[in-house]
Amino acid sequence: MKIKHGARLTALIAALAVLTVQISAQTLSVTKSAVLPCGKQPKQVLFTPDGKAVVLPLLDDTGFEVITLPAAGEPAQTETPASRSVVRPPRAERKGFAEGLFVPEKGAFFISQMTTGYVYEYAYPGFTLRREIPVGGEWCKFIAWDGTRQRLAVSNWISNTVSIIDYESGKTVKTVRTAAAPRGLAFTENGNTLIVTCFDGGVVQKIHVESGTETARIGVPKSAMRHIAVTADETRAYVSDMYHAAVYEIDLAAFTVTDTYRVFNNPNTICLYKDRYLFVSSRGPNDPVDYTRRSPENGKITVIDTAAKTVLAAIDGGNQPTGLSVAPDGSSFCFSNFQDANVELYRIRFAE
């Protein structure tokens, strides 16, 4: 069921600076174009495949929110009408919506609900419910897609498992044991291999999917591995480590760390742009009493040129920027501020 909010959202870019950084012979301009309110505790944000809207799984709210973005070229200083709707999956009252995934080849959007152990599949476009899938694990988090074998992987934070789900049947066909608190996932090698980042286990695991056996691992003492992004040719991966405020570059063939990038406190989501420029959302320092409270300092978005091995810029975020997404056409990126209950949108432009 959808609930419509007849709200007019203000695109806030008046008097906001343009951040410009020099990249080789090119200049990258990153310009804030809008700040849009959303529901409580937006854990993640995703551009829709057509780039016309963003979707936000809400951890402390009753579903996921779909926000239609202001049209390109609209005057930034005027109020911009925007459509907002909250989609309520079954068991919405139990909240806990953590991560989403678009699978364009299936015309599908999936979302996980930690508190129930379910993943819900919706048709896209339209966001009509197709089915609910019991994962068979506790505190389900991240979802990855294997297009070769037509299956999903879902990490289960408390169970210390990953559920492998056949798309056609919606059944869990294999449960893979992992180190403590698995989170980020990526299929590689035509779906034969699964890379798993383990938050409490302090490792990145390489697992042979069919046998469920670990074939290699990278361990960093006291680390808290969170998210992973893999290059299109599967030669490199990038992993965020919240404890050490770092992002590791990994040679996937050798399965070793080749570079370490220092970023701001508590790096969360990472996104690759043009398979070279890495965007990292860092939540900021924890409240000294309770990490679930507002941070004493706002977070940042770090931009890294992985070819030049340099940090290009740090963009100020709101309170606890967590989710992060780059538009399919590479024209913009956005991030969700967990404690502020909003999403910030930026335009990206290269010029000689």
What digits encode the pLDDT tens for the residues 143-158? 999 999 999 999 999 9
Lowest-confidence segment of 81-95, 283-297, 328-342 by average pLDDT: 81-95
Distance (Å) of CA 39 to CA 51, 95, 192, 286, 287: 20, 12, 38, 22, 22
* Per-residue pLDDT at 13: 35
Mean pLDDT in the chain?
91
Confidence of residue 73 (pLDDT cuts 50, 70, 90): low
| Amino acid in position 138 | E
pLDDT tens-digit map of 195-211: 999 999 999 999 999 99
Residue 181 has pLDDT above 60, yes or no: yes
120, 111 in Cβ contact below 8 A?
A: yes
Residue 325 has pLDDT above 90, yes or no: yes
* Per-residue pLDDT at 15: 36
Render 296-308 in DSSP notation, one character per residue: SS--EEEEEETTT
Burial 267-303 (b: 16+ CB within 10 A, else e): bbbbbbeeeebbbbbbbbbbeeeeeeeebeebbbbbb
pLDDT tens-digit map of 51-71: 999 999 999 999 999 999 987
Distance (Å) of CA 253 to CA 125, 176, 197: 37, 22, 17
Q: How many residues does the chain have?
A: 352
Q: What is the CA radius of gyration of the chain?
A: 19
* Per-residue pLDDT at 227: 98
* Per-residue pLDDT at 72: 65
| In the block, residue with structure tokens 């310009």 | 31
Residue 316 has pLDDT above 50, yes or no: yes
Q: How far is CA 190 from the centre of its chain?
A: 22
Confidence of residue 27 (pLDDT cuts 50, 70, 90): low
Q: Which helix (H) or strand (E) holds 10?
A: strand 8-10
Confidence of residue 5 (pLDDT cuts 50, 70, 90): very low
- Biggest CA pair distance of the chain: 57
